[in-house]
Amino acid sequence: MKKLVRSNLAIKLVSLILTFAIIQLLIYFDIINDYLQATLATICINIILAVSLNLITGFTGQFSLGHAGFMSIGAYACALITLRIPTIPGFILGVFAGAVAAALIGGLVGLPTLRLRGDYLAIATLGMSEIIRIVFLNLDNITNGAAGLQDIPQFANWKWLFIYTAGTVLIISNYIRSSHGRACISIREDEIAAEAMGINSTKYKVIAFTIGAFFAGIAGALYATTFNFIDPKIFGFSKSIDVLVIVVLGGLGSISGSIIAAVLLGVVTTYLQSFANIQMILYSVLLIIIMIFRPQGLMGSKEVSLSIFSKLGNSFKSKKGRV
């Protein structure tokens, strides 16, 4: 058992390092040029957003349309801090403060709204994220209102983005495979049965919401320090929908699905830019086609299992053993 856990960890580490090394090489040989690096950053931020929303919507079963709101809290908190402390520690502090601020608001908003179910919750979270946007729009002397914050120091390079993305994916997938994570999933499966089995459903919904908001805050902070500029328009309703599209496309309840969908949509959007006129039409058609043929999402609720590699490894070993 222990051996299995260790080898799983080793496989995870190896695949992480491999992913990093391959992309690092592509950047080094300029195959991923400056333009594509912006796509890469968008993909990383979208992965963080989608995986964290998947915890709320896919695993805990709470339909939320407010992810852009939490993202904007992280973005503004981090931008305001790094504008005053433009150093690496300031950047790290900014990301952390953004995440904590988003998590606090998430928990606070979650306590009353998570008593609602289904579409009522969706409307409440949508309203919440609009309120946050309007507040940022009107706090002129702090957020510079509609003009937005400019010249935010650019700290979040590819390496930072990779660290934060990998960290998010690891922490959330670890959480899902713990007893607390299973408590969240049981609420999605059958809330009445979960309560009858001793699961405090309100508590675990709020926990999932708070964790989701925390990582959305990180994504917002990384957005601000990658693209140097934020204004309230960026974090509107359509941003929440964009994230939801990635989650549904990848499969509700599949972390690897969210990652695959974020990468796929990132790449597709970049290449569709050469057909500027019909870009949105092609994008929509692609989504419709995928939803017709895979209504449960690309991955359903399954994960890309790393055990494929360990199986390959085992068969290799056993062959070796026979010789």
> Which residues form the interface with other proteins (CB under 8 A)?
1-2, 5, 171, 174-175, 178-183, 185-186, 189-190, 192-201, 207, 301
d(CA 131, CA 288): 31
Q: Which is nearer to other proteins, 39 or 202 (CB)?
A: 202
Q: Which is nearer to other proteins, 18 or 193 (CB)?
A: 193
> Residue 123 Cβ, how far from other proteins at the closest point, in Å?
25
Q: Which residue, 196 or 323, is less far from other proteins as judged by CB?
A: 196
The distance of closest approach from Cβ of residue 112 to other proteins in the complex, given in angstroms and rounded to an integer, is 17
State which H helix or E strand residue 91 sits in. helix 88-113
Q: 230 in helix, strand or coil?
A: strand
- Closest CB 258 distance from other proteins, rounded Å: 18
Written as one letter, the residue type at 10 is A
Half-sphere exposure of 237 (CA within 13 A, CB side): 8
Side-chain half-sphere of 143: how many Cα atoms within 13 Å? 23
Nearer to other proteins, 138 or 305 (CB): 305
> Please, what is the minimum distance in Å from the beta carbon of residue 196 to other proteins?
5
Tell me how far, at minimum, the Cβ of 103 lies from other proteins, in Å.
Answer: 12
Reduced to 3 states (helix: H, G, I; strand: E, B; else coil), residue 149 is strand
- CA distance readout (Å), 195 to 55, 199, 210: 19, 5, 20
Give the nearer residue to other proteins in terms of CB position, either 63 or 237. 63
Q: Name the nearest CA neighbour of 75 among 233, 213, 225.
A: 225
What distance in Å separates the CA atoms of residue 177 and residue 171, rounded to the nearest whole number?
A: 10
Percentages (nearest 5) of helix, strand, coil residues in the chain = 80, 0, 20
Is 67 exposed, middle or buried, given 0-12, 13-18 or 19+ CB atoms closer than 10 A?
buried
Q: Smaller CB distance to other proteins: residue 77 or 183? A: 183
Instruction: Please state the closest distance from residue 189 (CB atom) to other proteins, in A.
Output: 4
